[in-house]
Amino acid sequence: MTTERNLLHAQSILGDLTTDWSQPAPDRYDAFVQPDNLVAVVTTLHQDRWGYLAAITGLDKGPEVGEFEVLYHFCADAAVLTLRVIIDRADPVMPSICGVMLYASPYERETGEMLGITFAGTPDDAWLFLPDDWQSEVFPLRKDAVLNGNGGGDA
Amino acid sequence: MTQPANRKRFTVPIGPQHPALKEPGHFAFDVDGEIVQSASVRLGYAHRGIEKATESRTWVQNLYLLERICGICSHIHATAYCLGVEKLAQVEVPPRAQAIRSLVAELERIHSHLLWLGVAAHESGFDTLFMYSWRDRETVMNILEVMTGNRVHYSANVLGGVKYDVDDQQAATIREGLDFLEERTLHYLEVVSTDSLFLQRTRNIGVMDREAAQLSGVIGPTGRASNVQRDVRLDSPYAAYADHPITPVYETTGDLLARFVVRLREQLTSIDYIRMLLDHLPNSPLTTRMPRRVKAGEAISRVEAPRGELFYYIKSNGGDMPDRIHVRTPTLCNIASVAQLVIGQHLADVPMILVGIDPCFSCNDRTSVICQDGQRDMWDWARLRQYGIDHYGTHYTKDLG
């Protein structure tokens, strides 16, 4: 019951800031959020002390679809609220949420370098995992990334 | 003596070799004299591209790949993966298998915490404690070997259940080992709480109150030492934890000492929990049938690893390979707190503060870039594997010769 109550509460406080909702599992809600509203949604959850940001997952839907989807997973006890944000694969820019919760920084750095997504306003956009001299435009977790040969750096 | 007005700060680089644990990570600390003013972190020295590799392997192959993310907490990675895939496949795992998953997970926690105790003691200069705790760790490693035949990668899980059962003779061996470990853990609890020299290195060092811990997103024993009441075993029970709730351990002082006390008390909780599980092992088969292809959908799997919440996101397109697996390890949550915790502390305390979160870089770093003769090359898995075979084949032949 606590799980259901937590999820309903999240839905009530986020109101018009989301475009759609779905419930993929009894303990999960997915909220669809426009990129422009992301910071407002995260601020609302933070001010309400609704759970904590457990992870940011980046999904590449492939060049045919032309979209990235970035998932922000918030957990409160057993309840998991996932904010789903879709962005254009040709212009992959997301607002950073580090101004609200600084601990999102490593998650944004990882998602950014692995998929080539820019988190506008993130405090530190240096590679977290990839080598310092990783100069080419190879983003390993993109579906069309070519990972053989010299793709990872200058010879 | 007055300080010169144009006094400069220095940046002290620590790592990537052996910044605290015997794993690679790089930290840059800006210091004013002996006092740290700011810090930045750089990881990836053990990054192996495992998430990418999962997209070209079957669901079964991935089990063996993912449990190799970490050599300390291999079982909990495999458990998180299995729970997620079984959720997607809508498979119900038999209760005895769930109990054995929890049993191995708690043995792994004892092994991980004892390993950490030794490393943390070593960083403080208390090498006697380091050697004794690692000697005692052999007991739990031996128990794991008796159960599974392996000391590190136990490989207890299969999709749909577990491989190993516990018979009466093994149960007796486990109980005997637990009695010894309980006595030793109580002794270590007394040592870390009373040894005056050790307390100078831990009490009121690296203090993080509950509010700061919550704002830093800290989880696991590091968070619980600051009274952050999060434990996935209790918050979102899985495996045997739904039928048999675990007693969580919290401390309130939030200093390094509290992080020692929390982990040692968690060992005692794990010992009690394993005894209880052995008394109440349900009778059932060990496995259930798993389909080769997994229904399309997404699953989120959360488990309590020795270092805190381990989070798996798994996406299937309905095929025999996943579309995407994302792993968020506890160290990624906790590492950012180090950069905050060290500010205002003495440089000499930095290794202890870092080790206080029990960082695991192997867990955290999951592309292999090879640099030979000035040429940079990015190798795929097949090439890396062949290199390994050729390399060890050559050396083995040389040894024989």
CATH code: domain B50-329 is 1.10.645.10
Contact B328 A54 (CB under 8 A): yes
pLDDT value for B167 = 94
| Alpha carbon distances (Å) from B139 to B68, B103, B174, B273 | 22, 15, 9, 17
Domain residue extents for chain A: 2-89
Summarize the confidence of residues B68-80 as an average pLDDT. Answer: 91
Contact B49 A80 (CB under 8 A): no
Residues of A in contact with B51 (CB under 8 A): 114, 141
Query: What percentage of chain B reaches a pLDDT higher than 90?
Result: 59
Q: Does A102 touch chain B (CB under 8 A)?
A: yes
Question: The tokens of B327 are what?
Answer: 């792993």
| pLDDT of B400 strictly over 50 | no
Summarize the confidence of residues B328-339 as an average pLDDT. Answer: 82
Contact A140 B324 (CB under 8 A): no
ipTM: 0.93
Residues of B in contact with A130 (CB under 8 A): 44, 47, 367
Summarize the confidence of residues B68-82 as an average pLDDT. Answer: 92
To the nearest 10°, report the CA torsion of B150, B156, B158, B160. Answer: 170
Q: Which band of pLDDT confidence, cut at 50, 70 and 90, is reported for residue B75?
A: very high
Question: The tokens of A151 are what?
Answer: 């793709």
Q: How many CB pairs under 8 A join A and B?
A: 112
pLDDT value for B52 = 86
CB A133, CB A116: distance < 8 Å: no
Range in A73-77, B98-102, B123-127 with the lowest mean pLDDT: B123-127
| pLDDT of B20 strictly over 90 | no
| Beta-carbon contacts of residue A128 (< 8 Å; ≥ 6 apart) | A106, A109, A110, A113, B41, B42, B43, B44
| pLDDT of A81 strictly over 90 | yes
Residues of B in contact with A101 (CB under 8 A): 215, 217
Residues of A in contact with B300 (CB under 8 A): 25, 28, 73, 80, 82
The domain A2-89 is placed in CATH, from the list 3.40.50.2300, 3.40.640.10, 3.30.565.10, 3.30.460.80, at 3.30.460.80
A106 vs B47, B236, B335: nearest CB: B335
- Tokens 């999060």 belong to B230
